[in-house]
Amino acid sequence: MPPKHNPLKLNPLQLRTLVLLQTIARLPGAATAGPGAGEVTIERLPPAHGDHFHLGDAVVQGKDATGLYNEKVWHALERKGLARADWPHRITLKPEALGYETGLVEEIFGKAGH
């Protein structure tokens, strides 16, 4: 049986932010393992490049990334048991966050044209 889509009832901004954090966590050099088993800590967020930014070979529109810089979103992910937030310095994603199916990958990520 496939996992239930959005079982924690994250709102759209929280879902968009989580899918971006999941992607950042997988980029070489963008995050560090730990401190707990299966966790990943992100200490740097990608810089904007006009109205968008790049994550690996993908491009993300700035409007889809507002939650990356929003303290309330970080703490909502913490309350849902997906992360530990140390706003604005770092966010640690728990294994549950790394495996959470957002259903937004195709919607959020485009191919970079430059």
**pLDDT tens string 51-65:** 998 888 889 999 999
Domain hosting residue 65, numbered range: 12-105
Q: How many other β-carbons are positioned within 10 Å of the β-carbon of residue 64?
A: 21
Task: Establish if 111 belongs to a structural domain.
Answer: no
At 49 the pLDDT is 77
Task: Establish if 91 belongs to a structural domain.
Answer: yes
Task: Establish if 4 belongs to a structural domain.
Answer: no
Q: What is the DSSP letter of 112?
A: -
What's the CATH number where 50 sits?
1.10.10
Rounded average pLDDT over 94-113:
87
Separation CA 109–CA 106 (nearest Å): 6
pTM equals 0.91
User: How many separate domains does the chain show?
Assistant: 1
Task: Establish if 59 belongs to a structural domain.
Answer: yes
Task: Establish if 23 belongs to a structural domain.
Answer: yes
